[in-house]
Chains A and B, each alone.
Chain A
Amino acid sequence: MSIEVLRPGMLSTVQDLGRTGYAALGVGRSGALDTDALRLGNALLGNAATAAGLEITLHGPTLRFNTRGAFALCGADFIARLDGQTVSGWSAMAAEAGSVLELGHARSGCRAWLALAGGIDSPTVLGSRSTDLNAGLGPLPQALRRGDVLTLGAQASTPRAPSTRWSLDPRPWFALTGHAPLRLLPGRDYAHLDQSSVTALCNVEFRVAAASNRVGVRLNGATLRLTHALECVSEGCVPGVVQLPPSGQPIVLLGEHPVSGGYPRIAQIAAVDLPRLAQASPGSALRFVLIDLDTATRALLARQRARADLESRIHSRLAAT
């Protein structure tokens, strides 16, 4: 079972939940920038949560199913057609052998995740199938190219066959609506920001620069300054760290960030808002609001538990169909 890449799209990569446990060797996690969206797509298909799918960016690929299959597209609202028929997101769809799935551009947002029944089944590299573009890691160590053939695993048979009769309500998972500010925790070096930068951080609108990618979102807006230069030695990073390089234009790290970095760290995006940040396309506007760690932790736990609960309800419902 396989799919073939007829057109690769702007930047389509194989991603799963990421490469955990190798940070000490300088190997980052990579992985889907919104693991909830990928997991829910996998759940709709009866896949394991760890199944690999495709992360698509701004303009998606065109794919041919070489065998009968099923897929679910979760994340941003992309124009999508299966053999000319409109595809709706957040639901499982069946595809016949020879069917062509054409993913167009994002109507809003930036990224979506295409889960495929059986998952992309290439051998793992250091425990994951995720592509790490900078490190050149993964069974497919670069973005999709025309002619690539992706092998799919055995599809879950009943009682977990995907149902095409219902769909998820994406709204709790995918609030693109409006312009709610991204929640921000003060970082280690927040206290070293000068007064006008402290004011600017949560009052100025920042724009996502074109040079942003899976490594990080580069922001243009106010130029932020520290009261004095800081000598930082390189140390471990996580997604969401807001670094301040000497240019004064902050960079927010995303899932493909290097494992260590040496710039001052002024803030940290609350993890619960990282999926929203992954939808910020170049030119879009972002605002920030400060919260504390306890509030961020509660929000994250609530989201994780709601997602786990939804996954188990989907599994039960598939088992009952």
Chain B
Amino acid sequence: MPQWEALGESAVLLRWGHTLDAPINAAVHAAAAALRRACLPGIEDIAPAYASLLLRFDLDAWSAGGTRDALGALHNAIEPLLVAQPDGNTMSPRELRVPVCYGGAHGPDLAIVARHAGLSEHALIARHCAPLYRVAMLGFAPGFPYLLGLDATLHMPRRAQPRVTVPAGSVAIGGAQTGIYPNALPGGWHLLGRTPWRLFDAAREPACLLQPGDGVRFVAVTADEFAAQERADP
């Protein structure tokens, strides 16, 4: 069961650990799914992260009846939901195949990352496309997925000088993580390629193509396929 850490008066972090770790993250997503299904009143946000889940609640709703012990009331309501939850590892996440045009103008750091990993560019692309990644969390900016599952040989410290603007759709590596810039943003990760997908669009339903807990596999496409898909995307 998670540890409960109050985060101010009207939020709590449920914590399963302190590391980037696939089984821990799966437990977080299983709990997030159980909480979303339960539709408890007075819960304003359920935000999964790598090893913890943020719950923001309506203090007034949960401290009713003269008691100020909102956390106690939440604990009593939520722990049974988590107990009833099957093992997080048994979840089968949605799996999305994200097209990526690696290298060239779309991936200006591909050669640097390949050199750092001691691989050819071709082998680097194959290794980046191999795993089934998990959307560990969305953060930094709307729709920015932090993906778990990067091959250890591809880990690489962030750039010494972050770029002022990274183009939307850039697929990148920062430390032990890989992710996709949903919009043009400043960023310090190494850029391997770009996807033509628009990951986040507030005017679209759903606004965010990737959801926390989703499985993601990268599929290499040519520059022509990239251009065709970019045009086709509404």
Stretch at the interface among A93-101, A206-214, A298-306: A298-306
B215 within 8 Å of A (CB atoms): no
- B:105-149 near A, CB below 8 Å: 137-144, 146
Contact indicator A297/B70 (Cβ below 8 Å): yes
B1 within 8 Å of A (CB atoms): no
Contact indicator B46/A293 (Cβ below 8 Å): no
Question: Which of A26, A134, A270, A293 meets B139, CB within 8 Å?
Answer: A26
A234 within 8 Å of B (CB atoms): yes
Interface residue count on the B side (C-beta < 8 Å): 46
- B:174-206 near A, CB below 8 Å: 183, 200, 202-203
A-B contact count (CB 8 A): 129
Interface residues on A, range: 35 or more
Report how far A305 CA is from B6 CA in the complex, Å: 22
Contact indicator B141/A293 (Cβ below 8 Å): no
- A:219-234 near B, CB below 8 Å: 231-234
Report how far A268 CA is from B44 CA in the complex, Å: 20
- A:1-58 near B, CB below 8 Å: 20-27
A142 within 8 Å of B (CB atoms): no
Question: Which of A137, A185, A294 meets B142, CB within 8 Å?
Answer: A137
Contact indicator B7/A234 (Cβ below 8 Å): no
Report how far A234 CA is from B177 CA in the complex, Å: 12
Interface string of B38-74 (1 = CB under 8 A from A): 0000001111111111101001100100001010000
Closest Cβ of chain B to A217, distance in Å, is 16
Contact indicator A25/B18 (Cβ below 8 Å): no
Interface string of B1-27 (1 = CB under 8 A from A): 000011111110100001110000000
Contacts of B77 in A (CB 8 A): none
Residue of B nearest to A188 (CB): B5
Contacts of A234 in B (CB 8 A): 49-50, 137, 139, 146
Contact indicator B138/A24 (Cβ below 8 Å): yes
Q: From known contacts A233-B20, A233-B50, A235-B49, infer whether A23 and B56 are also in contact, taking CB-CB under 8 Å.
A: yes
Contact indicator B48/A24 (Cβ below 8 Å): yes
Interface string of A264-299 (1 = CB under 8 A from B): 000010110000000000000000000001101110
